[in-house]
Structure 1
Amino acid sequence: MTRRSPASLLLLLCVAVIGGLVGAGVVALTDSDADSDDPPAGARVEDAPEAGGAAERVYDRAGDSVVFVTAQVTQDTTSPFGTEQSSGEATGTGFVIDRAGTIVTNAHVIEQADDVTVKVGEGSPVAARVVGSDASTDIALLRIADRAAEPLTLADSDEVDVGEAAFAIGNPYGLDRTLTAGVVSALQRQITAPNGFSISGVIQTDAAINPGNSGGPLLDADARVVGITSQIITGDSSGSGGNVGIGFAVPSNTVKGVVAQLEEDGTAEHAYLGAQTTDAGDDDGALVAEVTDGGPAARAGLRAGDLLTELDGRDTGSAAELTAAVDAHAPGDRVRVEYERGGREQTATVTLGTQPESATTTDAGGVP
């Protein structure tokens, strides 16, 4: 994984927090907080070059399926006077994916939540049950009894191209169902999940994303979901800033696979190689910086300094490509790894393990 610049990658970017909790550090606005001259909530279009065309059509099709998520959270805080409990309210976004009342959002939106309520479209807040969550992809699944909303379609994110129109609908700073527009700026980005592992195949967009957008849909011109808006890069080192035109969405194909697992038993498993890698440069491969003791890579004889060039017939010209190649497999799969050591090409057979709940120092920034 390449090192990041001083610009801050803000994980909890899209969660607006009210109360004494440590988080994004942003006070969410509610409709009652806004000036009376503001346009009505749910009718905002920001930075939309095609506001009268495609953006309007996308909003008409998808706006009522976007969800305002509110999580009541209690945390223990330590001070010189002992341990105290602080409570607060985190708000984010979600969207309906079927007629059974199933809602997708980000895992970090509802993390440690005692209670979760949602407001679908212009409806009233209702209680939501957490079906499951996956910190490795930052995806959570909620369910409500109300099944009236039209579900959004999950597109094939492998078919997305750079330069295509992209639209985000969410609740930035508590301003519900705000629409922003832009383009797909880049593909195959890699970001860090809440548990420290890498999320591969991420879509970059310049559609404005701010605290409160987390878990909302990134849509194409046909109002199909191509990703879940999850993270942004802010313009200051403190990580407390807002949109600077660089946002990231977990791709919809990842969402499909994780949702299927969460619906089964509330959990998701991912393949695990057990190695930290960096880019070798010039698409030469993924360079192993360190292997986890006793992990799959170590058991197969891989070690620091090896240059991994192929996994099960798939080129791995970078750390991100290696992550994607591992993600395409399931725990227990036996894969053939081509690598270079000391200028000699070699082969190893690795039995992939199951990704642990959180990354160790060795795993952080590497592959799952």
Structure 2
Amino acid sequence: MSIESPRKPSDPFFRRLWFTGALVAVLMVLWKTLLPAIESLWMPPEGQSRIVTARGDLAADEISTIELFEKSRDSVVFISTATLVRDLWTRDVFSVPRGTGSGFIWDDAGHVVTNYHVIENASGATVKLADGRDYKAALVGASPAHDIAVLRIGVGFKRPPPVPIGTSHDLKVGQKVFAIGNPFGLDWTLTNGIVSALDRSLAGNGGSAIEHLIQTDAAINPGNSGGPLLDSAGRLIGINTAIYSPSGASAGIGFAVPVDTVMRVVPQLIRKGKYLRPALGIDVDQQINERLTAIAGIRGVVVLRIHAGSAAEKAGLKGVTLTQQDMKLGDIIVAVGNKGVDSVPKLLARLDEHQVGDVVQITVVRQGEKRELSVILQPGN
């Protein structure tokens, strides 16, 4: 019997096995060595810049909004106010910051329009323009009933342009609106939204109501007060005046004094320093009115007293007659023109739509019968 000797390493099988193992080892070394370079071809190393993706053209509405802001920005100003304080120890009087707000350029004479509550109880105000220039402002006039005030600054050169004037009587719910101001002191901020509602009322200074307000969902926050509310053409349609918010920040309900009101009030403030409301020359009271109209079972405004020589007396209006035993109602105003009146603030607002000297038709109920009377409006307080 013959016995086969074991295969030597030089046999073909072992050579192929050895070669394969060596090749695998070399490939593994190469893979570990070249892997970072391979990854860098399709994945940028950490910390390196990314390739910028082309954006393309801006949308048409974006372009129009940018143009609106760029054209309107210089017409908007930042207002800071101060008040005088006396040191109880040294008895020295010094000025301390009081608050901030917004405003806008009204004309080429340097008049600036803002809210009355922005400058109320302030001892001084500073107006900052969009180009960074600061000016001490003088108070020209104010109408607390409309929450409007006019300041004046002495701009010698590079006068900022007045904001273009629009109209508010033809506004529609759903129109786009834009607000520019300084919310929380953040200079020249643009927000946008729509007209949410029209002809709103809001309690103003001393409990009187500000009527005909524009309601908007454009974000309005503290510091926006006094800034312009613009339409999509960049025209002034209102002055941002208030927000409805339990937290004090924007909750999607803001209010603006309509520009039609501004156009009636501001020229008078510039000419006379105050606004004289059109009036009838009668005494009315909201609390008494609510009780008396409830007793009479009619919605309107009870004329309590007629001033001697007033427009109301000349037109033949009748007030309340008092006797020892009883009180007799005279006229109850239920409409001015063709617009209904159901409260004292509403009556004042209806009259405020006219000017002193205008002839208006007053509808009254006297002893259960309706009557039409013509009244020439006189200056009020």
With the length of structure 1 as denominator, give the TM-score of the two structures: 0.69
Q: 2:303, 2:332 within 8 Å by CA — same for their partners in 1?
A: no
1:266 corresponds to: 273
TM-fit CA distance, 1:341: 4.9
1:155-177: CA deviation from partner (whole Å, max 9, x where unpaired):
11112111100111111111111
How many residue pairs are counted as aligned between the two chains? Answer: 293
TM-fit CA distance, 1:314: 2.6
1:239-273: CA deviation from partner (whole Å, max 9, x where unpaired):
x5221111111111111121111111211110235
Q: 2:83, 2:122 within 8 Å by CA — same for their partners in 1?
A: yes
Q: 1:104, 1:141 within 8 Å by CA — same for their partners in 2?
A: yes
Q: Residues of 2 paired with 1:148 and 1:77: CA distance?
A: 39
1:339 corresponds to: 364
Q: Residues of 1 paired with 2:271 and 2:74: CA distance?
A: 27
Is 1:116 the counterpart of 2:125 in the alignment?
A: yes
Q: Residues of 1 paired with 2:115 and 2:69: CA distance?
A: 21
1:241 pairs with 243, 248, 252, which one?
A: 248
Is 1:58 the counterpart of 2:75 in the alignment?
A: no
> How is 1:320-359 mapped onto 2 (pairs within 5 angstroms)?
322-331=347-356, 335-341=360-366, 343-348=368-373, 352=377, 354-356=379-381
Q: 1:66, 1:121 within 8 Å by CA — same for their partners in 2?
A: yes
1:187 pairs with 198, 202, 208, which one?
A: 198
Q: Residues of 1 paired with 2:140 and 2:150: CA distance?
A: 5
TM-fit CA distance, 1:85: 9.6
TM-fit CA distance, 1:298: 8.5
- Counterpart amino acid of 1:330? Q
Q: Residues of 1 paired with 2:365 and 2:218: CA distance?
A: 41
1:105 corresponds to: 114
1:211 corresponds to: 222
1:121-170: CA deviation from partner (whole Å, max 9, x where unpaired):
13222211211111121111111122521111121111211110011111
1:253 corresponds to: 260
Q: 1:189, 1:203 within 8 Å by CA — same for their partners in 2?
A: yes
Q: 2:82, 2:95 within 8 Å by CA — same for their partners in 1?
A: no
2:10 corresponds to: none
TM-fit CA distance, 1:227: 0.3
1:211-264: CA deviation from partner (whole Å, max 9, x where unpaired):
111100000001111000011211x3xxx5221111111111111121111111
Q: 2:311, 2:378 within 8 Å by CA — same for their partners in 1?
A: no
Q: 1:77, 1:86 within 8 Å by CA — same for their partners in 2?
A: no
> Cα–Cα, structure 1 residues 321 and 194, in superposed 2: closer, same or farther, change >3 Å?
closer
> How is 1:71-110 mapped onto 2 (pairs within 5 angstroms)?
71-74=81-84, 87-110=96-119
> Cα–Cα, structure 1 residues 318 and 122, in superposed 2: closer, same or farther, change >3 Å?
farther
The DSSP-based 3-state class of the residue aligned with 1:167 is: strand
Q: 1:315, 1:321 within 8 Å by CA — same for their partners in 2?
A: no
TM-fit CA distance, 1:346: 2.7
**Quick one: percent identity of the two aligned structures?**
40
TM-fit CA distance, 1:329: 2.8
Which runs of 5 or more structure 2 residues have no equivalent in the other structure? 1-58, 321-328
Which runs of 5 or more structure 1 residues have no equivalent in the other structure? 1-48, 79-83, 357-368
Q: Residues of 1 paired with 2:262 and 2:189: CA distance?
A: 22
- Counterpart amino acid of 2:276? E
TM-fit CA distance, 1:191: 2.3
The DSSP-based 3-state class of the residue aligned with 1:179 is: strand
> How is 1:9-20 mapped onto 2 (pairs within 5 angstroms)?
none
1:170-198: CA deviation from partner (whole Å, max 9, x where unpaired):
11111111111100111111223324433
Q: 1:136, 1:198 within 8 Å by CA — same for their partners in 2?
A: yes
- Counterpart amino acid of 2:72? A
Q: 2:181, 2:188 within 8 Å by CA — same for their partners in 1?
A: yes
2:238 corresponds to: 227
Q: Residues of 2 paired with 1:252 and 1:77: CA distance?
A: 42
The DSSP-based 3-state class of the residue aligned with 1:108 is: helix
- Counterpart amino acid of 1:243? S
1:175 corresponds to: 186
The DSSP-based 3-state class of the residue aligned with 2:99 is: strand
1:70 corresponds to: 80
Q: 1:200, 1:323 within 8 Å by CA — same for their partners in 2?
A: no
- Counterpart amino acid of 1:253? D
Q: 1:169, 1:218 within 8 Å by CA — same for their partners in 2?
A: yes
TM-fit CA distance, 1:112: 2.2
Q: Residues of 2 paired with 1:75 and 1:202: CA distance?
A: 35
Q: 1:170, 1:177 within 8 Å by CA — same for their partners in 2?
A: yes
Q: 1:101, 1:143 within 8 Å by CA — same for their partners in 2?
A: yes
> Cα–Cα, structure 1 residues 124 and 325, in superposed 2: closer, same or farther, change >3 Å?
same
Query: Quick check: which has more Rg, 1 or 2?
Result: 2
Q: Residues of 2 paired with 1:70 and 1:60: CA distance?
A: 23
The DSSP-based 3-state class of the residue aligned with 1:159 is: coil
TM-fit CA distance, 1:201: 1.9
1:312-353: CA deviation from partner (whole Å, max 9, x where unpaired):
x33226547644421123346564321335642234455645
> Cα–Cα, structure 1 residues 287 and 75, in superposed 2: closer, same or farther, change >3 Å?
farther
Higher relative contact order (CA 8 A, sep 6+): 1
1:90-142: CA deviation from partner (whole Å, max 9, x where unpaired):
10000012222221101111112222111111322221121111112111111
